[in-house]
Structure formats: C-alpha cells, structure tokens
Amino acid sequence: MEIEQLKSQINGFLKANREQKFTAQNMADGLRMNSAAEYQQIVNAMNALVRQGDALDDNGEYTYNVNAGFVLGEYRANDKGFGFVKYDTELPDFFINPENTLQAMQGDKVRVSTLKPAPSPDRGPEGKVEEIIEHAYERIVGTFSLGSEANEMIGELKISDKKAMSFKVLVNSNGLTPNDGQVVVAEVTRFPDKIHPRELVANVVETLGYKDDPGMDILQIVRSKKVPSEFPQDVLDDAANISVDVPESDWAGREDITEQTLVTIDGSDTKDIDDAVVVWKLDNGNYHLGVHIADVSHYVTEGSTIDAEAYTRGTSVYLTDRVIPMLPRNISNGIASLNPNVVRLAMSAEMEIDKQGQVVNHRLHTSVMKSHARMTYDAVNKILEGDVFVQEEYAQLTPMFKVMGELHEILYKKRQARGAIEFDAPEAQIIVDEQGKAIDIKLRERGTAERLIESFMLTANETVAEHFDKMAVPFLYRIHESPDEERAKSFFEFSKALGHPVYGDPSKVTPLMLQKLMADVAGDPTEQMISTMMLRAMKQAKYSPDPVGHFGLGAKYYTHFTSPIRRYPDLTVHRLIKWYEKHGYGIDAQEKYADKLGQIGVDTSTRERRAIDTERDVDALKKAEYMMDKVGLEFNGVINSALKFGLFISLENTVEGLVHISNLTDDHYEYDEAHAALIGRSKHRIFQIGQKVRVKVLRVNKDERTVDFMLIDIENAPTTEIRVATKSHGKFGTGRNRDERRKNERRGKSEGPRQKRGPLDAKQGQKRDSKRNF
C-alpha cells in the first residue's frame, strides 16, 4: 500500500475513534498487515502522522490530535513587532502581524491559526498566535544590577541571550537578593502582555558568580541555551558503582580480539576515545577492515538514571576550553574509553572490502578488545608522509598504516564516483589563556590521517545501516534528504547567472550533478560563491526511522554507529543491534522499539541543534573577544554573504563581521538577487560572495558577539555591466529568496548568516563533529 494512502486510512480511523488510543500492533491487526515489512509500513505511516501534527504519540500509543487544523511551531520575533512561525523545515514560515503575536517571544512554542492562505507555493500564509504553549524564556540568565526598591522590584537583569536583549527584565523581591554585577538565573513570573509588551518580571533562583569571573562568559551561554552542565548526584553515584576494569564475567558470549593489532587514532588532547581500527590485506587481494566501537550500552543500561540523563543531553558539547560530556567522565574517559593496553568491551563491525571499495562481506558482533597503541593524527600523518624517524618509532605498526592509506584511497574514490559532495571549509581552533581569554586563533589542518579515519567510520556506518534496512526492521538512521525543488531551482538559476549552469532537472537533483558542478568551478573565482550557495540550498541532516539515505554523502544507507560516548543515537543503534541479535527480526522483536524511534529521532535531532547553536555562539563570543584589541587594524577577508543591509566578511582566521550598508558611502548600493551581490547605482562597483576585500575593524561588542568592519580601498573594487533590475516585484524580489532576504533585513545586523559547516557525518579534529549538520 502506498504510504500516503496508508496515512490517510490510519488518520481517518484515529479521527473516528478520537477518544481511544492505539498501538502500531493494534493498527496492523485491524488492517491485516501482519508481515514484518507491512508492520514497518504501519510504523512509518503512524510516525509520519505524528510529525505532521495529525496524530499524537503517548509512549507508543497513538491518538488523534484534536489540534489538527492548527499549526504548532516556533515563534521568531522581530524588534519591529511582527514575527514569523517556523513549523516545517521546507515550507515558508507563517507571517504574524504585530497585533496577532499574543506578545510571543523568540523561541516560544505557539499554536497558530491561518488568517490568509499562502498566496503562492514560495510564500507563507498569514497567521495568528492563538496560544503560547511553551515559553522559551521560563528561566533566563543575565547580569543583575541594583535599582531603587519600587513596586517590590529590587533591580534589573541584562539578558545574556542576544535574541532577548531588547527586553527589560525587572527583578522582584520574592527570590534571592544578588549583589550588583552578579550573573544569575531567574525564573520568569510575568511574561510580556498588552500592557507591558517589552517587559518581564522575574525572581532570582540561583547565583552563578560575577560577570568578570574566568569562564563566566561561556557559562552564561551554556545556561541560557539550557544545556545541562552538571550531573545530578544520583547519576554520579550510579556511575561511581561501575567497575573500573572489565571482569572476566563480562567476556561471556563475546569474541576475543585482544590479539588483533587494533589502534586508536585521534587528536592529541582527546580523552573520550570511542573507536579503534585495524586493517590487513587478505589472501584474495581484498582488505579486512575492523571498526571496533566502545560498548557504551553495556554500562549505560536502558531506563537507568545514567541513560535518562544521557537522553536529556543528547550529545556531548565541545566548547573552546571545555567539554560538556553526555556521560559522566568515569565512563566517557574511563571504562568506556578505548585507552591503550587495557581490556575493553566493544561493538565490532568487521568488513571485507574489494579493490573497488565494495563491502562484499561483513559481521556485526560484540567483542573484547585491547588497543595496541594510542596514535595521534599528527604521528600517522608523518608516517604516511614518509617521516623515517616517526616510522622507526612505530616500526611494528608502520606497514599497517600504509595498508590503511591504500584502503582509504579506494574508499575515497568510491565515494567520489557515486557523487559524495565534499566541502573543505576552514575550521578554527581558538586558543585561550589560563583565565579563559581568547589569545589566538589557528586553523585546523586535515591530513590523510583525519580523512582515513573519516573513510573508515563512514564505511562502518553505511554497512550497519544497509544491514538493518535490508532486514526491513525498525531502525534509527542518519538521513539527509534531497534539496527541495524550489531551493534547487533558485540555486540552479544563481549558478547559471555566474556562467556555470547545472545540468539536470532541479526537481530530481542528484549528488553527482552537484559534484560535477564543483569540479567545473574548481580554481575558478566563483568557486567559493557557488560552494556557499550550494550549502545554503541543502537541507539539514537529522535522525529518523525512515531510511531515505544521505544525499550529501551520496549514500543509499547511513546511520550513526561510531560515537556512542558522545552521541545518544549511536547508543540507540548499539542497543538495536544487540536486541535483534538476541531476539531475531520478527514482529514481536520489532514491536519493542518501533513506536519509540520516531520520537528518539526528533529529540536527538533537536538536542544536536542545541549543541551546534551553543558551540557556534561560544565560538562567536571568543572570536569577538579575540578581536577586541584589534579595533583600527586592517585584515584581508572574503565576502561570504551579500544581503540588502550589508556584507558579511570572513577573515583568514574565520572571524566573521559585518560591513553595514551605511558604511558603503561611495555610492548608493542596491541588492541584485540573481547574482547575490550589492551593486553601486552610479559607479557600478560590485560586491558578491567569494570576493577578496581589505577591511578595517570599526568596533567589537563581545556581549552581542559582533564585529563591525569597513572596507578599505573601496575604489579598487571591480565594476560590472550588470544593472539592478527595477523592482517590478517589490522591494525584495521574488520567490523564496525574497522571503529569506526580507527576514534577514528585518533581523538587521544583529544576526548574520548561519553557515553550515561541511557536508559529511564523520569524526574530525578534537572529537568535534564539525560537519555535524550533515
């Protein structure tokens, strides 16, 4: 049965029986769809109904959503009073006029009714906020300042979250009384209303320290993003009860691979080591690749306090001078970490790979292992580059590393042949002093060792995903869907306007089409421009029980199996592997997780985005801090975004800042949609993505995490024959791009373009998944 037909049938049944709840098994019995494959169809359809808001999932029991017809979404506020509600990753947002916002704040979860339908597929409807379901700012973090005690108010808070900085927060006397200048956590007791549209009232529930205390700047961001940073005592107590060694009893039922020459390869400062690898040549000319992953699920049992806390966190968060781990450190850095020369429990994926990079055989099993060496990327890179001194130091392992290099080249060429898209955007390492102050920014370099581990992890992830997809059982995948037609069409038009057409149908984009484009523009002045716009046209990767593949990798099958110490989805995948190994693949076995995986996918994707936002904000904070003593200095930069209100410039050290339109004083500049450029009306100078410029630092605001530039030698900018078209379609042009630009301009310079940071899902650098968005 087609999925849409099945969804319609199930939704109709739920609606007719709206007072009752039904499991997927109930529905399968009623529809007489009892084979394993049909049961999976039922699960997929019911989870799809939940995602689109037609049904509710109450711990595996489904019921009709009485709010169907309304839309639930996230409110995005503008200082001018209006707002937008994002309710779908692809559809245009609702527009909310000032009189219909119900005084919602940025990030509030709201229920919206439709006032006017969308006038076209690329423009959103107009709506009205009917209810604020969940306030984003129930607790706020800020710096307290004393005030005169009037109306039971003892002072005010300056909010650290820049999206809410424009609100006045009065502090009442019902909570703690902090000292002037202390950073506090406050609980909101009155939200904005018609009488006080820009004002909140709160009482202080916790003091964190003083604003200038070392590390307080990062802690404010962590707390404002609601990232759990302290483990509850019961979690620490339960973790402390876990043995620091592997007892002999834990070997039962596991394969002993302690004699295999397994090694770990990581950054020099990595402490949570979750993967070990081994490679050797087989007699038939094929390669044996073993990817052995820490068996975290043995220690973090389902339903335990540690498991509940790990689920709440979703992922480890990697900040400039600290890591907020998903698991207590005696697990992440201790018993689960694959430290050298100690016995550890593992989940193993052993693969036979032919000379074309195809996995021709594989086994998934539990094991007992021992890492024979704790290698660093630097050391392995030197070995592969032929450094004889390092080769002599690791004489027993050097031959294996050379075979690893061979296999990596084969796997890399295979990915390229199928269309995997690779963007090597620079990644910064921010150096801080003992007080946590940013003192330097260095660019991380990815050598063969980093790419080699990436190849092996990707291969293991694909192998595990393919195994369970072919078994047609409920499973958790890492998916990256194809770009939607509107975005693809806009990108195709943009690329064509620059003289590099994409050959193919925008409604059926393939990775090979985009990979060929990137090959065509390699070394061309438009390369960075096209690369940036291509990334913006793509969707965001996420976790889902729907096996739709991974567009950016050109992979038909993909999951996350390789990092259970720092990612909850990987821990879930390990549990699924063990469960099916023990209980088989029948309907009874499928039922345990079938109703849970959809919500796990939603929650872990949400917590991943929270981690990304936190990491991004901390990076921006520290980059601004680094630039504070550089006002007046000049730097080379590249335009990474041209918008109606100005140009965003990236320096060579990845610091990003804005040249506001008001500082382009030599001419009147207008935005050209087709070329994503600002063009001077009289002198016809052009500024567009990828263009190299010289800038001077005008001002830096660490609290707002912003850097402002002005262009130097503007008279040397190139000129163009392009003339900005008359605005027959209105101020913002046409289509989705117009809507995006309209929102960006209304946001103003306080919020620049958010760059996706790379196309792959793989381990890189200091265990930071810098390509996490895919």
Q: What CATH number did the domain enclosing 163 receive?
A: 2.40.50.700
Q: How far apart are CA 600 and CA 572, in angstroms?
A: 9
Whether residue 740 is contained in a domain is answered as: no
Average pLDDT over the chain, rounded to an integer: 89
The enclosing domain of 113 has a CATH number of: 2.40.50.140
Pair (93, 144) in one structural domain: no
Residues 532, 610: one domain? no
Say whether both 419 and 452 belong to one domain: yes
- pLDDT at residue 610, as a whole number: 95
pTM, whole model, 2 decimals?
Answer: 0.84
- Structure tokens belonging to residue 481: 């869907």
Domain that holds residue 492: 482-538
Q: Tell me which of 173, 196, 224 is where a domain ends.
A: 224
Residues 174, 26 within the same domain: no
User: 736 lies in a domain?
Assistant: no
Q: Which of 685, 706, 725 is the last residue of a domain?
A: 725
Of 246, 270, 132, nearest to 188 by C-alpha is 132
Helix orientation angle between 305-313 and 233-240, rounded to the nearest 10 degrees: 120
- 209 and 333 both lie in a single domain: no
Query: How many residues does the structure list for the chain?
Result: 774
Ranges of beta strands (E only) in 628-760 are 634-643, 646-651, 656-660, 669-672, 677-680, 686-688, 692-701, 706-712
The pLDDT value recorded for residue 760 is: 40
Residue 605: both structure tokens together: 């994707």
* Domain contains 242: yes
Q: Tell me, what's the pLDDT at 1?
A: 61
764 lies in some domain: no
* C-beta atoms surrounding 657 within 10 Å: 27
Into how many domains does the chain fold?
Answer: 6
Residue 723 burial by Cβ neighbours in a 10 Å radius (0-12, 13-18, 19+): exposed
Candidates 238, 248, 256; CA nearest to 301 is 238
- Residue 204's SS3 state is strand
DSSP state of 335: I
Within a domain: residue 290? yes
Looking at residue 80, what is its pLDDT?
Answer: 82
d(CA 85, CA 95): 7
Output the pLDDT for position 15: 87
With respect to residue 756, please indicate whether it lies within any of the assigned structural domains: no
**For position 213, what pLDDT does the model report?**
94
Dihedral (CA of 465, 469, 473, 474) sign:
positive
Residues 242 and 279 in one domain: yes
- What pLDDT does residue 707 have? 97
Distances (CA, A) of 89 to 48, 225, 540, 560, 590: 14, 21, 8, 22, 29
Do 45 and 119 belong together in one domain?
Answer: no
Say yes or no: 208 and 296 in one domain.
no
Distance CA 156, CA 712 (A): 41
Q: Using CB atoms within 10 A of its CB, is residue 148 exposed (0-12), middle (13-18) or buried (19+)?
A: exposed
Query: What is d(CA 374, CA 47) in angstroms, rounded to the nearest whole number?
Result: 43
- Please give the single-letter amino acid code of residue 37: A
Last residue of a domain, one of 46, 64, 82: 64
Which of 451, 429, 446, 447 has the alpha carbon at shortest distance from 438? 429
Q: Does residue 90 lie in a domain region? A: yes
What residues have CB less than 8 Å from 119, skipping those under 6 apart?
none
CA distance 310 to 332: 11
- Which residues in the chain land under pLDDT 50? 727-760, 762-774
In a domain, 760, yes or no: no
Residue 340: DSSP 8-state: B
∠ Cα 547 550 552 (to 5°): 170
Q: What is residue 149's predicted lDDT score, i.e. its pLDDT?
A: 61
The confidence score (pLDDT) of residue 726 equals: 53
Residue type, 412: Y
Contact 351, 464 (CB under 8 A): no
51 and 104 housed in the same domain? no
Residues 288 and 196 in one domain: no
CATH of the domain at 19: 1.10.10
C-alpha to C-alpha distance for 462 and 447, rounded to whole angstroms: 23
Residues 99 and 116 in one domain: yes
CA 166, CA 748: separation in Å to the nearest integer? Answer: 13
Looking at the fold, whether 209 and 163 belong to one and the same domain comes out as: yes
- pLDDT (0 to 100) of residue 148: 63
